[in-house]
């Protein structure tokens, strides 16, 4: 056995590698987890490369070509064209882009806000905790769609407002989850050690407690991505989200409902696209849950 | 243990070459290896060993409660002349309900929390070992007034025998409303309901506090006297074994390392492990207590070479590391697996005094080097 | 519980009053004169400071006056009461589907752990949870309505019966029976199936997974092993002893889901043209019918609270380890 440690060993110790390998095996134990990862990865790639790979990028906006309207799936238009003659495949690709941006924005706002508030509530306890929890309870009392509707209705029904509406609800789940985690960590030894050592509260919250909460949070974020996308699609479907002519997936489904069942592809393909993406996130999230061996309240 | 151990005539339970392995994430673990044991009619036999030595797994293999993957069971188990592993699931279930009774380890977690005690126990009377053919048959039997009240009478009778205070009240209560001692009695009752010939008891009373534990042991004593039952008991407590058993098997690392009558084990133990256990029992005499045996039970995925005990044994040497020691019989009932007795030139023979000294020295040197 | 409702009312009220538009104007239309709009605005109390408006509203609430709907011109309370049964019927049937199909599937999957059925069910459950409710609704309509023609596509009752059946309770299944018409009753069922099934999908997936995983959890418990040790047949252990334990977490989820269905009902009601509360709610959003909006939201909040309460009661009944505050040991 050589006594030199290879470079790889120095960056990632064999013990750490063993841990990762075991985690990966837990993740891969279900083939669905891998499928989920592939789907999500694939869609992300598609969304990022959208301008490059979409066959008819000019169809994304208010392009019209009525001669070509409602053509069924064909080689030129694998997913057919819609009522304005626009290529559906292109619009679905860009629709994915919109959906992912929506999810990223909502979670990008909601998660940090919720986690911070949850940390504060869970670690501080007392009336701060109670106050924050009362507020979250009120928000949690409603299904996201309803309150999002209420908020979105106040202002113009656009996707930006919809994002704001959904994000303004979403933080509550993270506050609650993080608060529970933080509260249970509060009496752990490493926290008390840090307190004794004189570490400031912020430091404790961010540097000590937070890293231990990451696994459940990561699982929840992944699963939530799917739910956010569904909610956004539903809002768009009703008319309160992405407005035409932008290629929101839910909006596209709505625009096609009048043409069912004859020109089924206008509604069905975008709808199916949503399904596939959300399915991917769900399977991936489940796999992550197995990997981290975590229980997350949904 | 391959031994010349004489099997008591007409044993009610006979186990040969029982081995159990488990597939796990970290590899394959041989948790029980080559176990031979037997229980005669009316005998009380105890398996003694530390936590993790495989004694619970052994009994679960005997009663067929291990799930086949990830467990792999090999060997033979004969009950009353019948090969248990050749039975179908239904036949096994019938046997478990009828001839073999099992008292499980943790009284608080071994009772179903959402059913009243009476309900669970009466179900055992009605359906333990005699399965209904389907939901209709179940409903008919369960809700037949006469059958049910007969079953409940039987439950009451047994609860009284296990000295349950207020059996009727207990029957109407949920397990979480009962004390630990009461739950333990309920568990014992549940095993006795169908008049088993063989009772298997896993650490009875261990989870309870000492005074209750004592009472449970006295109860078992009384029960043994009143019936002609055979008992296979598991414990980590030598004192308990001494009090109730006719014969004892000492188990370590998934193997039986020594066996004998209670007298033989306590008066003339042969295996260093047994001697170590005895030496660490607290006594009321003037003798100073030896330190415990240092170290811990082996990892079953990667057990030590040769004798499984050698890393902790005060007599260990090269011979111990190289091969599994063969069994040597000392009498009709006693035998041991230890190199010291099998070699031509064994070196010092383990005796109680010698073992005690060696353990003491080892303990002291540990303290010094700490 | 009460505090949440109160907070909810404040929130919704505040939102609904902070409007860029003028509700009075919207109610009267573009051709109304300024005086008329001002009159209505004064009548609606829109010129009062917000807290005063809130107090007015709440005191009206207590006597059952929720204001007037701008879209239907009826008192909001009347609208709500009229439309609530349709939504309740839909949601209840969806819940029945969720439980009636989801729980058995979950139990059998757990019994078949690792086998083909288990994996197939798992894939189904994931899919059910991932599909947007409007999409599954549309698919059902197209597949079972248009192509197979097994079920009608919209509404609660076929035209030929709507005249004949009077409104007794608002629950079509009940009313058709009270009217004495079996054919109408069957017709009501056939209208109910597709929307309820579509609505139930998301929840069904969750019920399947929760049931399966809690069955697996329970099967590993000591007391279940003990039951098998006493010689009780495997299926009896599973369906009597394991299921009752496993049902507890499932029931909690079902309670949450019932209320969550209200959100999903919006979409389904729209797609299937179901004349329920959710459709009313969406329309009041789109037309900024403030009173209706507040009313609908309050009803939904109330239903949430009531449902959770009922679930707590049932849980208390099933699980002897839970005790409602106030029980003595």
Nearest by CB to residue A239, choosing from C15, C264, C286, is: C286
Model confidence band, residue C220 (pLDDT cutoffs 50, 70, 90):
confident
Chain B residues in contact with C222 by the CB 8 A cut-off are 104-106, 109-110
Beta carbons of C126 and A274 less than 8 Å apart: no
Chain C residues in contact with B113 by the CB 8 A cut-off are 223, 245, 319-321
In angstroms, the first-to-last Cα distance of chain B is 38
Q: Any chain C CB within 8 A of the CB of B56?
A: no
Higher pLDDT, B63 or C4: B63
CB pairs under 8 A between A and C: 135
pLDDT at C47: 66
Residue C101 has pLDDT above 90, yes or no: yes
Average pLDDT over residues C230-235: 86
Chain B residues in contact with A25 by the CB 8 A cut-off are 25
CB pairs under 8 A between A and B: 3
Model confidence band, residue C207 (pLDDT cutoffs 50, 70, 90):
very high
Nearest by CB to residue B114, choosing from C231, C236, C318, is: C318
Residue A4 has pLDDT above 80, yes or no: no
Beta carbons of B177 and C241 less than 8 Å apart: no
Q: Any chain C CB within 8 A of the CB of B65?
A: yes
Highest-pLDDT range among B64-68, B117-121, B318-322, C258-262: B117-121
pLDDT at C274: 87
Contact A84, A211 (CB under 8 A): no
Average pLDDT value for chain B: 81
Question: Two tokens at A186?
Answer: 């509060």
Q: What percent of chain A has pLDDT over 90?
A: 14
Higher pLDDT, C190 or B354: C190
Q: Any chain C CB within 8 A of the CB of B114?
A: yes
Average pLDDT over residues B252-261: 86
Residue C250 has pLDDT above 50, yes or no: yes
Residues 6+ apart with CB under 8 A from B133: none
Chain B residues in contact with A22 by the CB 8 A cut-off are 25
Average pLDDT over residues A204-233: 83
Residues 6+ apart with CB under 8 A from C12: A150, C293, C294, C297, C298
Residue corresponding to tokens 């059996």: B167
Q: Which long-range contacts (CB under 8 A, 24 or more apart) does A126-133 make?
A: A129/A179, A129/A183, A132/A175, A132/A179, A133/A176, A133/A179
Which tens digit of pLDDT belongs to each residue from A19-29? 777 778 888 87
Distance CA B232, CA B9 (A): 17
Average pLDDT over residues C23-39: 66
Residue C8 has pLDDT above 70, yes or no: no
Model confidence band, residue C135 (pLDDT cutoffs 50, 70, 90):
very high
pLDDT at B128: 82
Residue in chain A closest to B26 (alpha carbons) equals A22
Query: Which residues of A, range 32-71, sit inside 8 Å of C by Cβ?
Result: 32
Beta carbons of B109 and C222 less than 8 Å apart: yes
Contact C119, C209 (CB under 8 A): no
pLDDT at C26: 56
Question: Two tokens at B37?
Answer: 């044991």
Question: Two tokens at A146?
Answer: 């309803």
Residue C12 has pLDDT above 50, yes or no: yes
Q: Any chain C CB within 8 A of the CB of B93?
A: yes
pLDDT at A297: 43
Residue in chain A closest to C210 (alpha carbons) equals A298
Higher pLDDT, A180 or A140: A180
Contact B249, B46 (CB under 8 A): yes
Q: List % helix, strand, coil for chain B (3-state, nearest 5).
A: 40, 20, 40
Q: Is B121 exposed, middle or buried (0-12, 13-18, 19+ CB in 10 A)?
A: buried
Cβ count near C197 (within 10 Å): 21
Residue in chain C closest to B98 (alpha carbons) equals C231
Residue C97 has pLDDT above 90, yes or no: yes
Residue C199 has pLDDT above 90, yes or no: yes
CA A123 remoteness from chain centre = 27
Among the residue ranges A253-257, A276-280, C28-32, the one predicted with the least confidence is C28-32
Beta carbons of A141 and C293 less than 8 Å apart: no
Residue B59 has pLDDT above 80, yes or no: yes
Q: What single-letter DSSP state applies at residue A81?
A: B
Q: Any chain C CB within 8 A of the CB of A152?
A: yes
Nearest to B205 by CA among B220, B216, B219, B192: B216
What are A's interface residues with B at a Cβ cutoff of 8 A?
A: 22, 25-26
Residue C319 has pLDDT above 90, yes or no: no
Query: Which residues of A, range 211-250, sit inside 8 Å of C by Cβ?
Result: 226, 230, 233-234, 237-240, 250
Residue B2 has pLDDT above 70, yes or no: no
Cβ count near B80 (within 10 Å): 16
Average pLDDT value for chain A: 81
Residue C316 has pLDDT above 60, yes or no: yes
Model confidence band, residue B288 (pLDDT cutoffs 50, 70, 90):
low
Q: What is the phi/psi pair of residue B45, to 5°? A: -120, 135
Q: What percent of chain B has pLDDT over 70?
A: 89
Beta bridge partners of B252: B255
Rg of chain B over Cα atoms, rounded to whole angstroms, equals 22
Nearest by CB to residue C228, choosing from B65, B94, B177, is: B65
Average pLDDT over residues B19-39: 82
Highest-pLDDT range among B86-100, C195-209, C269-283: C195-209
Q: Any chain C CB within 8 A of the CB of A29?
A: no
Cβ count near B338 (within 10 Å): 26
Average pLDDT over residues C41-49: 67
Higher pLDDT, B129 or B166: B166
Query: CA torsion sign, B82 to B83 to B89 to B92?
Result: positive
Element spanning C121, H or E: helix C116-130
Model confidence band, residue A157 (pLDDT cutoffs 50, 70, 90):
low
Residue in chain A closest to C142 (alpha carbons) equals A261
Average pLDDT over residues A128-156: 69
Average pLDDT over residues B101-125: 90
Query: Which residues of B, range 180-199, sit inside 8 Å of C by Cβ?
Result: 187, 190-191, 194
Distance CA B47, CA B49 (A): 7
Q: C touches which chains (3+ CB pairs under 8 A)?
A: A, B
ipTM greater than cut 0.90: no
Residue C106 has pLDDT above 90, yes or no: yes
Beta carbons of C232 and B93 less than 8 Å apart: yes
Average pLDDT over residues C14-25: 57
pLDDT at C2: 58
The residue of B23, B24, B25 whose CB has the most chain A CBs within 10 angstroms, and thus the best one to mutate to test that interface, is B25
CB pairs under 8 A between B and C: 89
pLDDT at B3: 43
pLDDT at B5: 46
Model confidence band, residue A156 (pLDDT cutoffs 50, 70, 90):
low
Chain A residues in contact with B25 by the CB 8 A cut-off are 22, 25-26
Residue C49 has pLDDT above 50, yes or no: yes
Higher pLDDT, C207 or C327: C207
Distance CA B115, CA B118 (A): 8
Residue A188 has pLDDT above 90, yes or no: no
pLDDT at A298: 40
Residue C34 has pLDDT above 80, yes or no: no
pLDDT at C328: 40
Nearest by CB to residue A275, choosing from C132, C147, C267, is: C132
Contact C164, C183 (CB under 8 A): no
Model confidence band, residue A145 (pLDDT cutoffs 50, 70, 90):
low
Beta carbons of C245 and B96 less than 8 Å apart: no
Residue in chain A closest to C295 (alpha carbons) equals A150
- pTM: predicted TM-score of the whole model, two decimal places: 0.79
Residue in chain B closest to C245 (alpha carbons) equals B114
Which tens digit of pLDDT belongs to each residue from C149-177? 788 777 777 777 777 777 777 777 777 77
Distance CA A205, CA A178 (A): 11
Among the residue ranges B119-123, C10-14, C211-215, C239-243, the one predicted with the least confidence is C10-14
Q: Any chain C CB within 8 A of the CB of B89?
A: yes
Distance CA C171, CA C151 (A): 19
């Amino acid at each position: 056995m050589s006594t030199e440690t290879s470079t790889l060993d120095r960056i990632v110790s064999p013990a750490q590698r063993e841990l990762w390998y075991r985690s990966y095996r837990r993740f891969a134990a279900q083939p669905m987890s891998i499928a989920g990862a592939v789907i999500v990865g694939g869609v992300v790639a598609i969304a990022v490369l959208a301008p490059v790979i979409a066959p008819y990028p000019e169809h994304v906006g208010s392009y019209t070509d009525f001669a070509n309207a409602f053509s069924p799936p064909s080689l030129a238009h694998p997913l057919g064209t819609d009522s304005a003659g626009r290529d559906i495949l292109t619009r679905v690709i860009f629709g994915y882009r919109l959906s992912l941006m929506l999810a990223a924005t909502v979670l990008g706002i909601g998660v940090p806000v919720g986690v911070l508030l949850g940390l504060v509530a869970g670690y501080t306890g007392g009336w701060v905790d109670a106050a924050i929890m009362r507020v979250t309870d009120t928000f949690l009392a409603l299904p996201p769609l309803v309150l999002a509707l209420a908020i979105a209705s106040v202002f113009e029904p656009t996707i930006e407002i919809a994002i704001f509406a959904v994000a303004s609800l979403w933080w509550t789940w993270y506050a609650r989850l993080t608060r529970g985690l933080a509260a249970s960590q509060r009496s752990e030894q490493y926290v008390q050690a840090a307190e004794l050592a004189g570490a400031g509260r912020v430091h404790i919250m961010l540097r000590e407690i937070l890293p231990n909460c990451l696994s459940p949070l990561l699982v929840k974020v992944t699963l939530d991505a799917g739910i956010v996308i569904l909610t956004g699609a539903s809002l768009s479907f009703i008319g309160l989200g992405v407005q035409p002519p932008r290629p929101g997936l839910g909006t596209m489904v709505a625009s096609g409902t009048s043409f069912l069942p004859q020109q089924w592809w206008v509604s069905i393909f975008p709808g199916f696209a949503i399904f596939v993406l959300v399915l991917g996130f769900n399977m991936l999230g489940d796999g992550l849950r197995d990997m981290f061996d975590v229980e997350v309240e949904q | 243990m391959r031994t010349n151990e004489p099997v008591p005539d007409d044993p009610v339970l006979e186990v040969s070459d029982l081995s159990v392995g488990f597939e796990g994430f970290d590899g394959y673990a041989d948790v029980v290896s080559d176990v031979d044991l037997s229980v005669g009619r009316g005998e009380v036999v105890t398996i003694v060993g530390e936590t993790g030595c495989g004694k619970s797994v052994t009994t679960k293999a005997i009663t067929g409660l291990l799930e086949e993957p990830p467990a792999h069971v090999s060997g033979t188990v004969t009950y009353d002349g019948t090969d248990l592993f050749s039975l179908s699931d239904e036949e096994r279930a019938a046997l478990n309900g009828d001839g073999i009774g099992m008292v499980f380890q943790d009284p608080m977690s071994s009772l179903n929390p959402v059913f009243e005690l009476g309900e669970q126990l009466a179900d055992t009377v009605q359906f333990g070992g005699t399965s209904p053919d389907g939901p209709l048959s179940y409903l008919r039997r369960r809700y037949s007034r006469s059958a049910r009240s007969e079953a409940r009478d039987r439950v009451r009778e047994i609860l009284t025998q296990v000295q349950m205070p207020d059996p009727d009240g207990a029957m109407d209560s949920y397990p979480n409303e009962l004390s630990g001692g009461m739950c333990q009695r309920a568990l014992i009752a549940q095993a006795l309901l169908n008049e088993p010939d063989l009772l298997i008891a896993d650490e009875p009373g261990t989870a309870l506090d000492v005074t209750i534990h004592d009472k449970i042991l006295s109860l078992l004593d009384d029960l043994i006297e009143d019936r002609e039952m055979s008992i296979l008991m598991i414990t980590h407590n030598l004192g308990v074994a001494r009090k109730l058993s006719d014969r004892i098997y000492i188990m370590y690392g998934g193997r039986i390392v020594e066996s004998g009558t209670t007298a033989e084990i306590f008066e003339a133990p042969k295996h260093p492990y047994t001697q170590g256990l005895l030496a660490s029992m607290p006594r009321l005499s003037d003798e100073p207590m030896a330190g415990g045996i240092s170290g811990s039970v082996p990892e079953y995925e990667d057990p030590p070479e040769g004798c499984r005990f050698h890393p902790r044994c005060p007599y260990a040497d090269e011979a111990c590391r190289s091969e599994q020691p063969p069994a040597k019989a000392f009498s009709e009932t006693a035998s041991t697996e230890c190199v010291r007795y099998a070699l031509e030139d064994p070196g010092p023979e383990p005796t109680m005094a010698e073992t005690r000294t060696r353990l003491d020295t080892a303990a002291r040197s540990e303290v010094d080097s700490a | 519980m009460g505090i949440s409702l109160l907070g909810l009312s404040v929130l919704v009220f505040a939102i609904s009053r902070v409007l860029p538009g003028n509700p009075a104007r919207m109610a009267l239309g573009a051709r109304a004169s300024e005086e008329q709009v001002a009159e209505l605005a004064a009548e609606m109390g829109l010129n009062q400071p917000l807290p005063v408006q809130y107090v007015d509203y709440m005191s009206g609430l207590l006597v059952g006056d929720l204001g007037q709907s701008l879209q239907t011109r009826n008192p909001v309370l009347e609208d709500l009461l009229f439309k609530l049964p349709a939504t309740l019927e839909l949601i209840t049937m969806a819940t029945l589907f969720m439980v009636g199909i989801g729980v058995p599937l979950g139990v059998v999957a757990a019994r078949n752990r690792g086998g083909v059925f288990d994996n197939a069910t798992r894939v189904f459950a994931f899919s059910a949870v991932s599909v947007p409710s409007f999409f599954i609704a549309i698919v059902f309509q197209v597949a079972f309505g248009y192509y197979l023609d097994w079920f009608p596509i919209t509404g609660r009752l076929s035209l030929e019966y709507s005249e004949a059946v009077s409104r007794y309770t608002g629950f079509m299944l009940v009313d058709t029976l009270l009217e004495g018409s079996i054919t109408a009753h069957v017709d009501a069922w056939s209208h109910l199936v597709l929307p309820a099934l579509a609505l139930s999908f998301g929840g069904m997936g969750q019920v399947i997974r929760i049931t399966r995983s809690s069955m697996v959890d329970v099967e590993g418990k000591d007391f279940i092993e003990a039951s098998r040790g006493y010689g009780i047949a495997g299926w009896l252990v599973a369906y009597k002893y394991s299921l009752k334990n496993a049902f507890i977490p499932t029931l909690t989820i079902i309670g949450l889901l019932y209320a969550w269905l209200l959100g999903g009902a919006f979409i389904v009601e729209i797609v299937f043209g179901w004349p329920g509360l959710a459709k009313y709610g969406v329309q009041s959003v789109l037309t900024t019918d403030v009173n209706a909006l507040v009313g609908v939201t309050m009803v939904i909040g109330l239903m949430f609270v009531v449902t959770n309460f009922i679930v707590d009661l049932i849980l208390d009944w099933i699980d002897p380890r839970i005790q409602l505050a106030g029980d003595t040991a």
